[in-house]
Amino acid sequence: MPLTETRRLDLEADREAPLEGDERAELDAHLAFLRRYKGALRLSLNAAEDLLVNGAKPPSDRGVLKHLFDKLDRSVIEQALSRDPFKSQAGARANFLAGIVRLQPTPENLLSYLETLAAGADRREAAQAFHLTIARFDFSTLAPAQLGRVLEILQGTFQGADRVQVAIGLLSSHGAHALFEREELDAEAKALFAPLAAVHRVVISGARLPDDETARGRVLEGLNRWLESPDAVLKSYPKEIRVRLLELALSGIDGRAPKKIPRGLLDSIPRSDPAYASLGQREAERLLAEGDAGGAKAVLNSLLSAHPYLKSLTAWRDALAWRQVGKITLDESQPLAPGRHLVKAFWLEGRRFGWGRIAKVEDAGKLAAEARLQADLLLPGIPPVLAQGLGKDGTAFLFVSAPGRPLPAALSELGPKDALTLALDLALILKVLAASGIELPDADPGRFLVNGRPARAVLLDLEGALATDPSRAALAHSAFAVSLAQKVLEKAPAELLTPTLRRQLGRPTPMPLLVKALYEALAG
């Protein structure tokens, strides 16, 4: 959808063709202008024209209208401008010329209007008026000298956000894009307007992003300038344009996001609109990725009040009420298992639930070392650390994620075969960990999760683990494997346990013998 509508009124059509819809709306605006300024213009009107201007008769004949509008020639306009109030009051002159440009969009009238804006004091008001006034102007009719004068006035009159607003309005006029492709355009004007022309093509004209990397960078530069506009300006664009602008901003360009995405732009989309649901979720994701839990929560609250069916986002919002440490939030509502420090957590950047552990400032180095150890392992059954770092107060954190339930809670639900499979899985994890030269300080079941069918083990918590000699780690882990197997198989039917396995579980057993006995019991 274009930013502004093109001229609809066609006075060259058959004179008796009915005037309807957009043509009638445009015509009514022109007649209202003539009615307001007929004294200043001092037009010589015949009876039919006088009835039209005064609103006593509805327009129906295009020939009569064309004859009326043709009376508004340059000499009539110049004479009106030479008299007060237009001669002495810049504001009155600008308002008058704005209507003239809409009615008679000639280069001379446009330049008169721009020069009047340049002489005025209120640049913000002038920028808004300019963008509305030149909507139907055909810039392809400008001669090179006129083009230079237009850009000279715009560059000298408007700065910052006002200049952006004027440029976007200019680019939405017929033929305006060709301005920035002319050879005679100076380097300063090209640098000023080319990025805005590039983003205008994508957002308003609906063009695809260019393939050239430099051209894509120009789109991003233009997007950054556009998004720096005041909220009132951004909200003044049609909804379809605001949606496209947000879609481009939230998608980014080649992984590069704009410097700023104003919250007011999202707030300007009606809450019930499907576009708000989609854009609101993407904005919440962006804020979470930046670690802005408060901003994300505000967006999610607004989004869910209008679209409560988005259940996954409800879980995100609830997680944002937890304590935040760096890039994670922690659910501290549940008591920790004795000796354990992992709690349910939400990773903001990854929008994922998992488990988090924190440490006091004095223990931050120890936690960081354990996080690096786990991140470097890349072993089956041991998920990597996805996030680690320091909170604002120096509290250290790490985050891991894997599906499943804590082993102690899952033990009572295990079937006989699942119990054997799980005991074997635990032993194998401890075996490969030892072979990698990593030794755990204990075999607390709270370190592990259980997931899937058949049951599989996940070693989630490496707190206190140390790099050591593999043979030493294997000796310690053999005892841990027996201890865990005893817990897992405690309620298993006697007939499920082979004599060999019962012997291995009743005494200190080397890891290879325990693993072999578990395999034999599963095979039987």
Neighbour-count burial of 367, counting CB atoms closer than 10 A to its CB (0-12 exposed, 13-18 middle, 19+ buried): buried
For the segment 319-334, the average pLDDT, to the nearest whole number, is 92
| Domain map (residue ranges) of the chain | 270-321, 324-400, 405-523
pLDDT over threshold 70, residue 175: no
Residue linked to tokens 């005025």 = 120
Q: Of the candidates 404, 420, 285, which has an alpha carbon nearest to the alpha carbon of residue 350? A: 285
The answer to whether residues 350 and 329 touch, using CB atoms and an 8 Å cutoff, is no
For 338-389, what is each residue's pLDDT tens digit?
667 889 999 999 999 999 999 999 999 999 999 999 988 889 899 999 999 9
- Is the domain spanning 405-523 CATH 3.40.190.10? The answer is no
For 474-495, what is each residue's pLDDT tens digit?
999 999 999 999 999 988 888 8
Q: Which fold has domain 324-400?
A: Phosphorylase Kinase; domain 1 (3.30.200)
The answer to whether residues 345 and 399 touch, using CB atoms and an 8 Å cutoff, is yes
What local confidence, expressed as pLDDT, does residue 159 receive?
79
**Alpha carbon of residue 134 to chain centroid:** 32
* pLDDT above 90: percentage of residues in the chain: 53
What local confidence, expressed as pLDDT, does residue 164 receive?
83
The answer to whether residues 416 and 495 touch, using CB atoms and an 8 Å cutoff, is no
∠ at Cα 312 (306, 314), nearest 5°?
55
Beta carbons within 10 angstroms of residue 331's beta carbon: 16
CA torsion 485-486-488-489 (nearest 10°) is: 110
HSE (CB half, 13 Å, CA atoms) of 334? 12
pLDDT over threshold 50, residue 6: no
My answer on whether omega of the bond before 85 falls inside 30° of 0, hence cis, is yes
Q: Would you give the DSSP letter of residue 492? A: S
For the segment 278-282, the average pLDDT, to the nearest whole number, is 95
The answer to whether residues 19 and 60 touch, using CB atoms and an 8 Å cutoff, is yes
The answer to whether residues 426 and 443 touch, using CB atoms and an 8 Å cutoff, is no
For 204-244, what is each residue's pLDDT tens digit?
888 899 999 999 999 999 999 999 988 888 888 889 999 99
Interatomic CA distance for residues 371 and 354, integer angstroms: 15
The answer to whether residues 323 and 332 touch, using CB atoms and an 8 Å cutoff, is yes
Interatomic CA distance for residues 216 and 195, integer angstroms: 10
Q: How confident is the model at residue 1 (pLDDT cuts 50, 70, 90)?
A: very low
What local confidence, expressed as pLDDT, does residue 3 receive?
39
Q: How confident is the model at residue 135 (pLDDT cuts 50, 70, 90)?
A: low
Question: Is 203 strand, coil or helix?
Answer: helix
What local confidence, expressed as pLDDT, does residue 420 receive?
92
For the segment 7-20, the average pLDDT, to the nearest whole number, is 76
∠ at Cα 93 (91, 97), nearest 5°?
120
Structure tokens at 81: 């401008």
3-state helix vs strand vs coil in the chain, percent to 5: 60, 10, 35
HSE (CB half, 13 Å, CA atoms) of 459? 29
